[in-house]
Amino acid sequence: MQLTHIKQLTGTLVLKTGLHIGAGDTEMRIGGTDNPVVKDPLSGQPVIPGSSLKGKIRSLLEWRHGLVGIAGGKPFSFQHLQKQDSPDARKLLKLFGGAPGGEVENLVREIGPTRLAFWDCALNADWVKKVQARNLLLTEAKSENSINRIAGVADNPRFTERVIAGAEFDFRLSLKVLDGEDLLPMLLQGLKLLEADSLGGSGSRGYGKIAFANLSFDGAPIQADFDALRAFAAAA
């Protein structure tokens, strides 16, 4: 097993609707929101953690390839491969890795190390300049209410912070290539599934609809090929 390349997939992640990825803030501030978004500690600007992207894309691919049931709701890993072995399951573990241990060391050695490395996505600097030139804020406070069905009035309003629709983030990940393998088709299938679903919290209420733009793989444009993909076509 030999590392033959480390390739870069880059592009722009565009918000079609407001995005909320929570910061886990335990403090309530007077006049503040109940649920702030995660922000870069240095710039104070919203950021999309690479862990959020990795987790959601992995989950969607596990659902797409029928691997969720065998894992009992946990991330599909090497011990589950003993029960449901398939080329797609092996590709998923190559891309995202799994928990070693127990009687699966032979599988761990056979499949090798995790190929994907996700980067945190910062706001695109040019987009931020355009927003600031218009004296607009990078986030909004979205009110959420539950409605009393009998009285017809709102109960317990909460305010959730969201990154505004139209925001552009710099997207980047690294893909290790061992022995000339081609795992890009499954990776792109995961990105297409994310476009069809949502990122962050409250996706069922319209939050977190995203699109990828200007995708390049190791410097070569692939956006046209990505646009032509179907989310539920079989990955090569």
User: Domain segments of the chain: what residues?
Assistant: 3-50+118-146+159-228
Percent of the chain with pLDDT over 90: 64
Q: Indicate the average pLDDT of the chain.
A: 88
- pTM for the whole structure: 0.88
Contact between 200 and 21 under an 8 Å Cβ cutoff? The reply is: yes
pLDDT in tens, 216-229: 999 999 999 999 99
Residue-wise over 41-72: b if at least 16 C-beta within 10 A, else e?
Answer: eeeebbbbebebbbebbbbbbbebbebeeebe
Query: pLDDT at position 220, please?
Result: 96
